[in-house]
Amino acid sequence: MNELSPDRVGCITASRIADMMAGGKGLTRARYAAQLAAERMTAMPHRFNFTTSAMEHGVEFEPVARMKYEIRNGVMVAGTGKEFILHPFIPHFGCSPDGLVDDDGMVEIKNPETHTFIQYAMNETIPDNYRWQMLAQLACTRRKWNDWVAHDPDLPEEDGYLQIRLTPTAEQIANLEREVRFFNAEVDQIIKSIKEKRK
């Protein structure tokens, strides 16, 4: 199932969940709501898309980071990162995890530029935007934990690998799911308002 799958169109996705959580009626949140409304009304994916050199770098080295993760943890990662998994009971909500691990885990892989990796290594915490993404992935898959892996092939082996596990509480998952329901209602209200104005 690819990124343009009909199941994905109009959905709040884990990779954009940080935009939803931007707060209040801020520009980022409002823009994302408008994009989703457009997708739901047209049944077509949002046309604007771009690829940066940093994104291309991440895609190129993801298989390397994935292999290192498997070796270090003695596991096999299932999936390609292209499968879209819908939330079991919240409509218009889904994710495309980088990989599933064992029966209750998953992994999210990032291959940032070196200066960004060094910031990650200094902080030793999952950045907020990725934490939201991983939490949404866990909500959709109903799995228990998610390993965040940052990898930089330009640094020496031990210096260029960082792994942090996210194991959220049931309350954290429930809080996120509540926010998703609120946001879905916002998108539905946008669509309703537009239709009413056309009468």
Listed by start position, the domains of the chain span 12-197
Helix (H, G, I), strand (E, B) or coil at 39: helix
Residue 7 binned pLDDT confidence (cut-offs 50, 70, 90) = confident
Average pLDDT in the 159-184 region?
98
Residue 50 binned pLDDT confidence (cut-offs 50, 70, 90) = low
Average of per-residue pLDDT values in the chain: 90
Residue 3 binned pLDDT confidence (cut-offs 50, 70, 90) = very low
Residue 22 binned pLDDT confidence (cut-offs 50, 70, 90) = confident
Of the candidate CATH numbers 3.90.320.10, 3.30.110.30, 3.40.50.2000, 3.40.50.1010, the domain formed by 12-197 belongs to 3.90.320.10
Residue 45 has pLDDT above 60, yes or no: yes
Please give the pLDDT value at position 165. 98
Helix (H, G, I), strand (E, B) or coil at 70: helix
Residues in the chain: 199
Residue 24 has pLDDT above 70, yes or no: no
Regarding pTM above 0.85, the answer is yes
CA distances (Å), origin 137, targets 16, 26, 156, 175: 11, 24, 31, 14
Please give the pLDDT value at position 108. 97
Average pLDDT in the 51-67 region?
73
Please give the pLDDT value at position 26. 64
Amino acid identity, position 134? M
49-57 long-range contacts, CB within 8 A, separation 24+: 54/112, 54/113, 57/111, 57/113
Please give the pLDDT value at position 51. 57
CA distances (Å), origin 120, targets 56, 94, 156, 169: 20, 27, 16, 24
Q: Tokens 């969940």 map to which residue? A: 17
